[in-house]
Structure 1
Amino acid sequence: MKKLILLACLFAVPVHAALFEDTDARKKLQEMQLKETELDARIVSLEAVIKSGSLNDMLNQIELIKQDVSKLRGDLETLRHLNATVEQRQKDLYQDLDGRLRKMEEKSVASNPVPSGKVTEAPPLPEVKPPSDQEIYDEANQLLEAMKYKEAFQAFTDFIKQFPHSALLPDAKYALANTQFSLKNYKASLGTYQKLLDQHPDFIKNPEALLGLANAQIQLALIPEAKKSLKDLIKKYPKSDVIQNAQKRLKVLESIKP
């Protein structure tokens, strides 16, 4: 009898252990099935995003904007180089002219010596004329091209006050708006662009001013207003050089869902 009991105990232990092992295996299997379900759901979600095309469109638009920025930087570098070349040529011409004048003066003095005993009269001082509006505007514009934005801001502000009736007034206002934008004073830049458009409706650079206005509105998160400015630009100036940039920006803005 004792042998039978002992045999029963020996067989009972592995059966009990097997039950525990089977329970653990089922739990692990359920956990793995749950993780597999979650992964399937994520895959389905990602496939939906990719199939919708919105992600690809956004990436394409961002790449186009990067290309525009790169092109603008290249154009700016070319303009800087051209400006430096022109300035050097002007200096060379001035030095050459100054040298010729000096030689002419020396020859004149040598051919007309001053008689002894006579006191030469001092020549009258030349009349000093104040700088013209063109000269002052050019100086302010050189500051802007040299990216000295604070100095350029002050120079254009002074120009507008000093020459309120100048033919260069619209150009000065446009340059002032660009300077404010470069200083990241987008609110002031927006106001200057808007005044320019309202006060000078026939200004030749109004397409660029409208694009600048839209860019300032984008920086201030005024998306509906920026869309309207870009649409006005495309409608009023369909042959402008900035139309392509305006169309690209408008497409990006319209792809953004509120």
Structure 2
Amino acid sequence: MAFSFTKVNLRRFTSVMAVSAITAWATPTFAAAPVVNASSGGGSAADARIQSLEQQVEVRNRVIADMQIQITTLQEELRMLRGQVEEQEFKLSQILDRQRDLYRDIDSRLSALNQASTPSLPAANTTTPTTTAEQPVTTVTAQVATTTAKNTVSAKDAQSEAAAYDAIFPLVRNRQYAEAVTAYQDFLKTYPNGKNAQNAHYWLGQVYYVTSQWEEAETQFKVVATRYVDSSRASDALLKLGEIEKRRGNADAARAYFQQVLSKYAGTSAAQAAQKSLQDLR
């Protein structure tokens, strides 16, 4: 009996030890696998989340840029309407000037006729005042004609430039950006020092900006900010230069541009936007 009991216990002990050994060998392997898988799965989820956020930010930036160009488009349409009013005022001023010149011419001729027909003067002297009076009338008339011709040529040039510039804007409004770039470049070649040159440079920069062509946009905005310092576009150009550096990740350069806007153009809408952009950089 003792032998039988001992043999049974030995078998049980052997079985227990075998199970324990198998468990001890298997447990670390099975425990380690979920940790690796969990870590790998967590990394993939984090990467996907970051990529999703980056896409959302990019979409938001494009929406903001599109809204900015729409606002600027409305401002440009208002400027065009004001330009048309100014053009009509200029034409009216020209008409009034011509009328005044005609009145003066008629008055001079009437004065000359009155002097020529005065009976108290001798016949010999009658010709002299008439000739003397008519000579300045002829000179004044020639001068008026020359001035009017020059003004007409100048007005035609201005109208041609304005028409060429205004014809480009619908391309921007319809988001035909490639065509707009070509049109603005051609305009600047034809009218490099024209009245609308600063606006053409600015809008060319805007089109480059919306299409994320930062270097090209930077070039155009720098032209506006440095060559047309006193223009209404200069503050907006400086602001855009800051936004370009901000998108490039150059916080210090962006901050410098925004501070220039605040110091040079305080109280403008560009200054308000620059202040907000500075706060975003902090």
Query: TM-score category by the smaller chain?
Result: 0.5 to 0.7
Match of 2:232 among 187, 191, 204: 204
SS in structure 2 of the partner of residue 234 of structure 1: helix
**Per-residue deviation, 1:144:** 1.5
Of structures 1 and 2, the one with the larger relative CO (CA 8 A, separation 6+) is 1
**Aligned residue in 2 for 1:56:** none
- Of 229-238 and 242-251, deviating more is 242-251
Q: Give CA-to-partner distance per residue, 1:17-70, whole Å, 9 cap, x none.
A: 4445556379859x879x99xx9xxxxxxxxxxxxxxxxxxx9xx88x949946
**Aligned residue in 2 for 1:6:** 4
**Per-residue deviation, 1:168:** 1.8
TM-score by length of structure 1 reads: 0.55
Given residue 76 of structure 1, which amino acid in structure 2 is its aligned partner? Q
1:185 aligns to 2:213 (yes or no): yes
Q: Distance in 2 between matches of 1:238 and 1:193?
A: 19
Given residue 73 of structure 1, which amino acid in structure 2 is its aligned partner? M
> 1:64-143 to 2 correspondence within 5 Å?
66=60, 69=63, 73=67, 76=70, 131-143=159-171
**Aligned residue in 1 for 2:93:** none
Larger radius of gyration: 2
**Aligned residue in 1 for 2:204:** 176
Given residue 190 of structure 1, which amino acid in structure 2 is its aligned partner? E
**Aligned residue in 2 for 1:250:** 278
**Aligned residue in 2 for 1:239:** 267
Structure 1 unaligned regions, length at least 5: 40-58, 87-126
**Aligned residue in 2 for 1:102:** none
Kept in 2: contact 1:136–1:159 (CA 8 A)? yes
Q: Give CA-to-partner distance per residue, 1:52-108, whole Å, 9 cap, x none.
A: xxxxxxx9xx88x9499469639839967xx7xx9xxxxxxxxxxxxxxxxxxxxxx
- Of 68-77 and 153-162, deviating more is 68-77
**Per-residue deviation, 1:157:** 1.5
**Aligned residue in 2 for 1:44:** none
TM-score by length of structure 2 reads: 0.51
1:215 aligns to 2:243 (yes or no): yes
Q: Distance in 2 between matches of 1:231 and 1:155?
A: 33
Structure 2 unaligned regions, length at least 5: 39-52, 81-152
**Per-residue deviation, 1:145:** 1.6
Structure (1 or 2) with the greater helix fraction: 2
SS in structure 2 of the partner of residue 140 of structure 1: helix
**Per-residue deviation, 1:198:** 0.9
Change (3 A) 1:14 1:233: farther
Tell me the C-alpha RMSD between the 2 structures.
4.3
**Aligned residue in 2 for 1:165:** 193
**Per-residue deviation, 1:197:** 0.7
Given residue 67 of structure 2, which amino acid in structure 1 is its aligned partner? R
Q: Distance in 1 between matches of 2:216 and 2:71?
A: 27
SS in structure 2 of the partner of residue 174 of structure 1: helix
Given residue 3 of structure 2, which amino acid in structure 1 is its aligned partner? I
Q: Give CA-to-partner distance per residue, 1:94-143, whole Å, 9 cap, x none.
A: xxxxxxxxxxxxxxxxxxxxxxxxxxxxxxxxx9x665211111111222
Kept in 1: contact 2:66–2:210 (CA 8 A)? no
